[in-house]
Structure 1
Amino acid sequence: MNLPPPGIIYSCGYQLRTLPDFLQQLQQAHVTVVLDVRETPWSYRPGFSAKPLRAVLAAAGVEYEHARYAGNPKSLRSRADSHQHCLGLYAEHLGQQPEIVTQFDCWLQPQLAQGRNVCLLCYERHPADCHRAVLLYRWQALTGHDALIVHLNPDGAPRFTTQDLTAVQALVCV
């Protein structure tokens, strides 16, 4: 069995996923820690709220951490007139509050240095529809880190935008 190299950053959205499917994705990628980047770690989808998710992940040998600071603030989401506009507002938010990316970097660098495979979790299945991609690409742009970013099985759910990841990366050019 070929194992992935250590220190990969994964990204996964749970839109239209079941908890067993999500766990299978993590296990196949040898993820060791999930960083929940939702502002509020709550979900209508069974098992994806913080407390039950933490328990299921722990039973599977995967750590769970919540990074409220990295969430897309409700104030931005309510102001946006489209999903794509919301991602642009989040990119501006990160530009105005660089301490968010600094805090993320302070958490992430030791994980990567220890060879851990990290997975950022949010709702939107396709990364080009989610603020987690904006956060990751802003982090890479600011730090110059060339860590491998892999988006786990992003297809299979309705899209919220028509943009691709290149458009998301363009949002965060510094």
Structure 2
Amino acid sequence: MTREPFFTIGYEGTTPSAFAAALENAGVDLLVDVRAVAASRRPGFSKGALSASVNSQGIGYVHLRALGTPKEGREAARSGDAAGLTRIYGAHLQTDPAKAALQELKDLASGRRICLLCFERHVEGCHRLLIADWLCEQIDAEPTHLMPAPF
């Protein structure tokens, strides 16, 4: 069985139009927001505006809040503590809400070209890499980490 590829993307350091172009160029049909807090000080990247924008491109949007990083994990990431982020987020993925959201993600990936969204431009040091690694094992597909054009 041929698997659809999947993608990850961060919106740090890019514009809404460059972000939209990256999704379109990759043929993404579902954007999966894995932020704990789907709000942003960056215009165009809060849940409502982002959902409306991608929907206008024919791309679906779903927010899997339970796959967001707990506050302590976000603090570890901001301080550059990758090991702390991995430890905290790994424990979070063992919770019942996160397990249910992972199963939902796996189901959403079936036959769709999904893209995992978070803030960080580079996937290294972002929890979406841990989610992508998990999904790789589940659906036997490798992710492509999209890098929208910078400002």
TM-score norm. by structure 1 comes to 0.74
Gaps of 5+ in 2: none
Q: CA RMSD in A?
A: 2.5
User: Which of 1 and 2 has higher RCO (CA within 8 Å, sep 6+)?
Assistant: 2
Q: Output the CA distance in 1 between the equivalents of 2:56 and 2:148.
A: 25
> Is contact 1:6–1:117 with CA below 8 Å preserved after alignment?
no
2:143 to 137, 143, 149: 149
Q: Output the CA distance in 1 between the equivalents of 2:76 and 2:41.
A: 23
Match of 1:97 in 2: 95
**Number of residue equivalences:** 148
Gaps of 5+ in 1: 158-174
Name the SS for the 2:14 alignment partner.
coil
Match of 2:80 in 1: 82
Residue 120 of structure 1: CA displacement? 0.5
Residue 106 of structure 1: CA displacement? 2.9
Is residue 137 from structure 1 mapped to residue 133 from structure 2 by the alignment?
yes
TM-score norm. by structure 2 comes to 0.84
Match of 1:50 in 2: 47
Q: Output the CA distance in 2 between the equivalents of 1:60 and 1:6.
A: 23
Name the SS for the 2:124 alignment partner.
helix
Q: Output the CA distance in 1 between the equivalents of 2:56 and 2:24.
A: 12
Match of 1:23 in 2: 20
Name the SS for the 1:41 alignment partner.
coil
Residue 155 of structure 1: CA displacement? 8.9
Match of 2:116 in 1: 120
> Is contact 1:87–1:130 with CA below 8 Å preserved after alignment?
no
> Is contact 1:8–1:112 with CA below 8 Å preserved after alignment?
no
Name the SS for the 1:34 alignment partner.
strand
Residue 79 of structure 1: CA displacement? 6.2
Match of 2:63 in 1: 66
Q: Output the CA distance in 2 between the equivalents of 1:12 and 1:152.
A: 5
